[in-house]
Amino acid sequence: MKKSLPCWMFAFNVFLLALLPGVSAGAAEQVAIVGAGYVDVLTGKAVPNAVVVVEDGRIAAIGPAAGVPVPAGAKRIELPGKWLIPGLMNMHVHLGLILPGIQMLEHANESDAQLALRMAENAQKSLLSGVTTIRTTGDLHHADIALARAIGRGSQPGPRIVSSGEIIAITGGHGAFGEVANDGADAMRKATRREIDAGARWIKIAITGGIGTPGGGVQQGLMTPDEIASVVQIAKRNDIKVTAHSGSPNATREAVELGVSGIEHGYFLDRPILKLMKQRGVWFVPTILVSQPATFEFFQRIGAPAWYMARVREVGKAHWLALKTAIEEGVNIAVGSDQFPFEPNDGTTATIRETEYYAEAGMTNLQALQAATIQPARMIGMESQLGSLTQGKFADIVAIDGNPLDGISALRKLGFVMKSGRVYRNDWDRQSAVPPLIQADPTEAGPPPGDAHVDVIF
Q: Which residues bind Zn ion (CB under 5 A)?
A: 338
Smallest distance from Zn ion to CB 75, Å = 40
Q: Choose between 136 and 365: whose C-beta lies nearer to Zn ion.
A: 136
Smallest distance from Zn ion to CB 165, Å = 13
User: Considering only CA atoms, which of 269, 263, 246, 251 is closest in space to residue 318?
Assistant: 269
Smallest distance from Zn ion to CB 239, Å = 24
Q: Choose between 47 and 285: whose C-beta lies nearer to Zn ion.
A: 285
Q: Choose between 91 and 386: whose C-beta lies nearer to Zn ion.
A: 91
Residue 153 backbone dihedrals phi, psi, to 5 degrees: -75, -15
Residue 443 backbone dihedrals phi, psi, to 5 degrees: -75, -5
Q: Choose between 166 and 338: whose C-beta lies nearer to Zn ion.
A: 338
Smallest distance from Zn ion to CB 264, Å = 7
Q: Which residue minimizes CB distance to Zn ion?
A: 338
Q: Choose between 287 and 365: whose C-beta lies nearer to Zn ion.
A: 287
**Which amino acid makes up residue 441?**
D
Smallest distance from Zn ion to CB 195, Å = 16
Q: Choose between 30 and 337: whose C-beta lies nearer to Zn ion.
A: 337
Smallest distance from Zn ion to CB 17, Å = 41
Smallest distance from Zn ion to CB 94, Å = 6
Residue 425 backbone dihedrals phi, psi, to 5 degrees: -150, 135
Q: Choose between 227 and 338: whose C-beta lies nearer to Zn ion.
A: 338
Q: Choose between 338 and 356: whose C-beta lies nearer to Zn ion.
A: 338
Q: Choose between 264 and 329: whose C-beta lies nearer to Zn ion.
A: 264
CB 39 within 8 A of CB 364: no
Smallest distance from Zn ion to CB 93, Å = 8
Between vectors from CA 112 to CA 111 and to CA 118, what angle results, nearest 5°?
Answer: 90
Smallest distance from Zn ion to CB 391, Å = 35
How do 37-40 and 83-86 pair as beta strands?
A: parallel
Smallest distance from Zn ion to CB 110, Å = 18
CB 97 within 8 A of CB 456: yes
Q: Choose between 42 and 294: whose C-beta lies nearer to Zn ion.
A: 294
Tell me the β-bridge partners of 54.
31, 59
User: Considering only CA atoms, which of 219, 224, 220, 213 is closest in space to residue 170?
Assistant: 224
